[in-house]
Structure 1
Amino acid sequence: MTRHPHRAEAPEGPAVNSTVIPFDPDTSSALPGRLGHHAVPERWQTVDRSAHAPHLVAVGDGDGGKWTGAALVTARPHTAYLKIVDAVGDVPAAVAAVVAHARGQGLAQVKWEGWSVSSEDAATVGFAPLRPPLTPLEEATGPAAGYVRWLHDDVATAPPYYGQTTHFTCGAVTALVAQAHAGTLSSEALDRETELTLWRDATNFLACEPVGLGVAVRRAWPASPVTIHLDADGPVLLDHHPEEDREWRAVLQRASRKQAGELGVPIDVSRLSMTAIRGALDRREHVLLLLSLAGMQGFDVPHWVLCHGAVPGAVVIDDPWANASTGDTWVDAHLLPVPDASLDSMAAVSADGFRGAVTIGRPPRGGAALADPVEQG
């Protein structure tokens, strides 16, 4: 664990007359009367944020229920952060109230989307800039800037954020970002060609299953120690395919197991525990973890995320996908703290509840230079 290089401390007292209420159509219609001349951004009402528990944290002047400032706050379910979409009016007071609200819930972090706040103003109230995504951003997919304030002293260092450019390349992206975070791959090498090339070597059409992904990682970076974790004997991630399409995918998975043996990539058949995940992170390893999106996004789809750090009570992940239709953006997906118990529950995939992961260790000191995945064609 290392101290965050950008962490800023800002003095704050208890918020005065702070109020926390759900944000819904009734609340929205009452905002002009409560906030007076302070305009509310149109974006507050153009996206259905109901899946992420939208609420207002407001501060008042103590006179007639008027608010001097307010922040629209959301968060993915089963996580350990709050996100400020915007703050209006007395912004420092509203933000201080959000931070106090997060502390009161024992959360790890507050984030702030950079739609309407400058880096200087964010820094004044203790927020550090997030590095913008390496993938191009459109207005609908999130702000150009974002900020974070950790609510404790020690946090993990941040990997670059790269959003998957297809619906099926999450496994490849987590591996690439892990290697960039480890210094094995340059951030400049993270692009769509690299993403699709590694996916092509790992895919079970269209998904990446754990053994195939682990084999592809070893092929791309032969000096990186790789362990595959899979507590299932046979092929996985086939339930949603028609019967006639399962057989040939099962053949490919058996071939991947054979290749793992030939390459010396171990397959650990015991269930990967949260204790083991934290142990790997303590050793500065990376864990590519397969989980279901049911808890965070509301639909049961297998999805790869990168576990790269830990804070008290939560594991810090990077998720290569964000659900723009619910107001979810890269600011949510990057440096996302998830409580241990929630992550443990999410990482039970399919009706069988198997757990799949790939652990990537650090290359030995003086190891050979690692191959660019593009060259593996």
Structure 2
Amino acid sequence: MTTPHPVPSAVPYAVVPYAPGAGPSAWPDELRRIAGPEVLERWGAVDRTPHAPRLVTVPGGGGWAAAALVTARPGTAYAKIVDAVGDVPAAARAVVAYAEEQRLVQVVWEGWTVSGEDAAAAGFAPLRPPLPGGTDEPAGPRTGYVRWTAGEGVAEPAYYRQSTHFSCGAVTALLAQVRAGVVRPESLDREAELTLWRDATNFPACEPVGLGVAVRRRWPSSSVEVFLDTEEPVLLDHLDGDEREWRAVLQRASRADADRLGVPVHGRRLSLAELREAVEAPGRCRHVLLLVSLATMQGFDVPHWVLCHGTVPGAVVVEDPWFNTGAGETWVDAHLLPVADASLDAMSLLGGEVRVRGAVLIDGG
């Protein structure tokens, strides 16, 4: 157990390591005294190890007066409260103080047990519930809450979870257009997702030029630019021979389509400063679809599209259309997700010896 730290609310706290997969019988007596069995069962139902699980505890009554299970994706700038037990307001204050001490910009709270009133009293605002998705996999709690600890936060877009392992590019483009008012939220469903994916895919992934071309075809009034610092085919490192070549042919065809449609393909890397400038532009609704590797956040080096739509001090706020339920994630982890600048800069360089960055900038007007 760490030494308790004084916090502005005068509530001391300590950070205690979490035992992955431990059932209720393995928890400390101090915790079992204040947490119900259904809460402890949820905490121990999955292996949360990849997300550095920890307990933020508040002493009192000869043991713990309050505790919260806190997790977060690696490389990000937030902390998530799975549940707070015991003196819930004290637990929330302790987690916020812990987040501020760690220089995190955001705390989110899954709405498994907390009421809207208690969350609001602790300074948390309700999150918009996610749009209905096309997957039957559990999506987590019906409600969630957010509190920004740095900056003023960002405007909240709709959240939609991709229904396949390969349609992230299409979903991020659709979410950008929903936020821009070009697409109605209720029309974002599995049919819309897979229809746009079919237009953009390089089988099964969506490469940057093909995705930009599909966006321009679908929404001719939206300005689209592609940034890709290579003229070679991308996202094909896992393939060879004919399987690689026919996909390379399609990528060359996408470049020809971009030229015909007037979609600029900039043969240079979009810098992080340019990305921030794009999504910060006042009076504009600009979004950046960015290719990242999931190696840092999820532990496997798979290319994945996220939507960059806002900034706060030290971080870019993204929508990630996928989350890992096997590690205890829910939509609350993937929605309004602040990724530290340095982490985003590193995870958006893909490839082998030659690292490249792919991005699609959409200006919805």
Residue equivalent to 1:150: 148
Provide the rounded CA distance (Å) in 1 between the counterparts of 2:294 and 2:127. 24
Please give the residue correspondences for 1:224-373 in structure 2 after superposition, counting only pairs within 5 Å.
224-283=222-281, 284-351=285-352, 352-363=354-365
Residue equivalent to 2:175: 177
Segments of 5+ residues of structure 1 without an aligned counterpart are: 1-11, 364-377
3-state SS, counterpart of residue 299 of structure 1: coil
Q: Deviations over 1:91-145 (max 9, x none)?
A: 1101110000000011110000011111122111111111111134868331111
The answer to whether residue 69 in structure 2 is matched with residue 67 in structure 1 is no
Q: Contact (CA 8 Å) 1:228, 1:359: kept in 2 or not?
A: yes
Q: Contact (CA 8 Å) 2:76, 2:340: kept in 1 or not?
A: yes
Q: CA RMSD in A?
A: 1.7
Q: Contact (CA 8 Å) 1:75, 1:81: kept in 2 or not?
A: yes
Q: Deviations over 1:9-56 (max 9, x none)?
A: xxx943533110110157972423455253251111011000000000
Please give the residue correspondences for 1:181-196 in structure 2 after superposition, counting only pairs within 5 Å.
181-196=179-194
Q: Structure 1 counterpart of 2:82, which letter?
A: V
Q: Structure 1 counterpart of 2:250, which letter?
A: L
Provide the rounded CA distance (Å) in 1 between the counterparts of 2:34 and 2:156. 39
Q: Structure 1 counterpart of 2:178, which letter?
A: A
Provide the rounded CA distance (Å) in 1 between the counterparts of 2:360 and 2:34. 53
The answer to whether residue 114 in structure 2 is matched with residue 117 in structure 1 is yes
Provide the rounded CA distance (Å) in 1 between the counterparts of 2:315 and 2:80. 17
Q: After TM superposition, what 4+ stretches of structure 1 lie above 4 angstroms from structure 2?
A: 25-28, 136-139
Residue equivalent to 1:215: 213
Q: Structure 1 counterpart of 2:356, which letter?
A: F
Residue equivalent to 2:131: 134
Normalised to the residue count of structure 2, the TM-score between the two structures is 0.92
3-state SS, counterpart of residue 184 of structure 1: coil
Segments of 5+ residues of structure 2 without an aligned counterpart are: 1-6
Percent identity over the alignment is 61
3-state SS, counterpart of residue 250 of structure 1: helix
Q: Structure 2 counterpart of 1:84, which letter?
A: I
Q: Contact (CA 8 Å) 1:112, 1:146: kept in 2 or not?
A: yes
Cα distance change of structure 1 residues 139 and 90 upon mapping to structure 2, 3 Å threshold: farther
3-state SS, counterpart of residue 80 of structure 2: strand
Q: Structure 2 counterpart of 1:359, which letter?
A: L
Provide the rounded CA distance (Å) in 1 between the counterparts of 2:110 and 2:219. 35
3-state SS, counterpart of residue 200 of structure 1: helix
